[in-house]
Structure 1
Amino acid sequence: MTTDSSLLNSELELQQQEELYQQLLLQTMGKIPTENPDSKVIRPQPGMCVKTLSEPGHQKIFVNICQSNSVPLPPEISREELVELLQSEDPSGYRVPMSLGEPHTEVDNNSQGCTAYDVVVNQEFFQQCQEDPLFQQFVILVSLEGLENKYNLELSRDWKVLKNRKFLGSVSEQNIRTKSRPVIQELQPPYVPRPEFTLLIEPPAGEPEYLIAEIQLPGVPSARSLVLDVGEDRLTLTARPSLFHLDVFHAFLVDQENSVAQYNNSTQVLTVTMPVVSS
């Protein structure tokens, strides 16, 4: 897919003019006293609307990921670097500036009440996320974790990007700081500890039939807090919110479809049994 850069530049100029107009209009109406050099009022542009659920109540949550050039651009990162970052145990070296708005009550397509949050990222970065599914997944993950940290939430990672809706509710102004303690947060994912684990081979001698992972997860109340992914030669586990993260490769090729996992609430140990295809 090719993009006409002149059209993008034109849209960026119109966005800047619109933000300036909105700020001047608010000043004229007396809604803000004078221009504060440490902050500014912006009206972000809609980007995409993500539907998810709160845990454990399964209430509908909508995240409006918006765009504005008033939010700083994150450091440049390649796709390869992003893949490596997502696989690392501590991806805190890459920061995404964003503004996290207050929750607001809305009505969904079924006329049911729901809660929506507005997240604003840099417009150029948002366009990059739209062009690459990996970057889109990353900005959604960062947005969800930012909301969890700020509002003490637990959000499902089983989300859905709405195709025919870019925003739920109405776009409202946001007051963002440009100096001091910013409302634009450099969202630094917290360090997530790696749990203790062992990999066992059954039978211990001869041709291996099963690879068994036993993972210690103290403090995890139930399996509902766990997100497990069994790959052919890789095992990843996340205990939310930000309790543990495990990402390991092993020397066996396992049968993903017939692998099973069981979490013991008493011992707080997760056991993953994976049939071995070959070594």
Structure 2
Amino acid sequence: MTTDSSLLTSELELQQQEELYEQLLFQTMGELQKENPDSRVIRPQPGLCVKTLSEPDKQKVFVNVCQSNAVPAPPQLSREELVELLQSDDPSGYRVPMSLGEPHTETDNSSQGCTAYDVVINQEFFQTCQKDPLFQQFIILVSVEGLENKYNLELSRDWKVLKNRKFLGSLSEQNIRTKSRPVIEELHTQHSSTGAQRPQFSLLVEPPAGQPQYLTAEIHLPGVSSCASLVLDVGEDRLVLTARPNLFHLDICHHLVIDQERSTAKYDNNTQILTVTMPVVST
């Protein structure tokens, strides 16, 4: 197996990989729409509007938390479970499906320029959040963190929910996935003979039908605070990951042929998920 162990050697390289990852993902989604559309365009319904500030420049930012039945509902969550989740060390373990729209420039009530983002969540879950202030604060926090991760932002936690406004500006149509990517393998944590754990992971192929173009590995690494402790090797038909010191070890073989030079990796410190995107060589 020819490997490239330099994918995760520095924060600078990770930044470059993230940029390439976004480009590859954007390209993939565009091709999927043309060749095998497993997504649909929706116009989200108004929900609530949150006013906050960007850091450190203190520019006004508005988050339109919208609703749509086209977005999948998250797992059932009681109020007691939410309290426990917020008190835990890893509240990101509960994942809320959402669609994060592109930023758009708007004008506020003072005729000042500002930036708005549209976040779409499941309609039924939105109604639950509306009935309970704790759930509402939770979904705002999740939305803000999602925007920060996607657009490399830092937003103030001193936000305000606007009482007489459900959204700012105009709500744009969004393209969301209607079918899940096929999971060709998904395994859960178990201990290896070396004492390191085999992490929970998923292997997914794009597009869902026809000639595969990308293989994506999503690897959950709870307790790993930085990519600096990760060593990743990507081979033509194999992926090997080690999280030091002796935390996790993963060795995956698959049936596809990977373009190693164009493979990218992205580690999210908040969700503690490593995403490895591997272009498939046409055969």
* TM-score, normalised relative to structure 1: 0.53
Task: Report the number of matched residues.
Answer: 160
Q: Secondary structure at the match of 1:77?
A: coil
Q: Does 1:79 align with 2:104?
A: no
Cα distance in 2 for residues equivalent to 1:126 and 1:99: 13
Secondary structure of the structure 1 residue equivalent to 2:91: coil
Seen in structure 2, the aligned counterparts of structure 1 residues 150 and 191 have a Cα distance that, compared at 3 Å, is: farther
Change (3 A) 1:55 1:94: same
Q: In structure 1, how many angstroms separate the alpha carbons of the residues matched to 2:177 and 2:85?
A: 28
Q: Which structure 2 residue ranges, 5 or more long, are not aligned? A: 1-32, 182-203, 207-217, 226-268, 271-283
Higher relative contact order, structure no. (Cα contacts within 8 Å, ≥ 6 residues apart): 2
Separation in 2, partners of 1:117, 1:87? 28
Q: Which position in structure 2 is the counterpart of 1:144?
A: 144
- Show CA shifts across 1:226-277 (max 9, x none): xxxxxxxxxxxxxxx95xxxxxxxxxxxxxxxxxxxxxxxxxxxxxxxxxxx
Percent identity between the two aligned chains:
81
CA RMSD of aligned residues (A): 2.8
Is residue 49–residue 161 contact of structure 1 (8 Å, CA) maintained in 2? Answer: yes
User: Given that residues 89 and 192 in structure 1 are in contact (C-alpha distance below 8 angstroms), is that contact kept between their aligned partners in structure 2?
Assistant: no
Q: For 1:175-194, list aligned pairs within 5 A.
A: 175-178=175-178, 179-180=180-181
Match of 1:41 in 2: 41
Give the Å deviation of 1:93: 2.5
- C-alpha distance 152-191 of structure 1, shift in aligned 2 (>3 A): farther
The worse-fitting range, judged by mean Cα deviation, of 171-180 and 81-90 is 171-180
**Residue 164 (structure 2) aligns with:** 164
* Greater Cα radius of gyration, structure 1 or 2: 1
Counterpart CA distance in 1 for 2:92 and 2:160 is 25
Q: What residue identity is the alignment partner of 1:48?
A: L
Counterpart AA for 1:127: Q
1:51/1:160 contact within 8 Å kept: yes
Matched residue type, 2:121: V
Distance, in Å, in 1 between the alignment partners of 2:158 and 2:126 is: 21
Q: What amino acid is the match of 1:68?
A: S
Matches within 5 A, 1:155-234: 155-178=155-178, 179-180=180-181
- Give the structure 2 partner of residue 96 of structure 1: 96
Return the letter of the residue paired with 1:53.
L
State how far apart, in whole Å, the 1-side matches of 2:35 and 2:48 are. 30
Q: Which residue of 2 aligns with 1:123?
A: 123
Alignment-derived partner of residue 133 in structure 1: 133
CA distance in 2, matches of 1:46, 1:67: 6
- Within 2, Cα distance between the matches of 1:92 and 1:164? 31
Equivalent-residue separation in structure 2 for 1:192 and 1:134 (angstroms) = 29
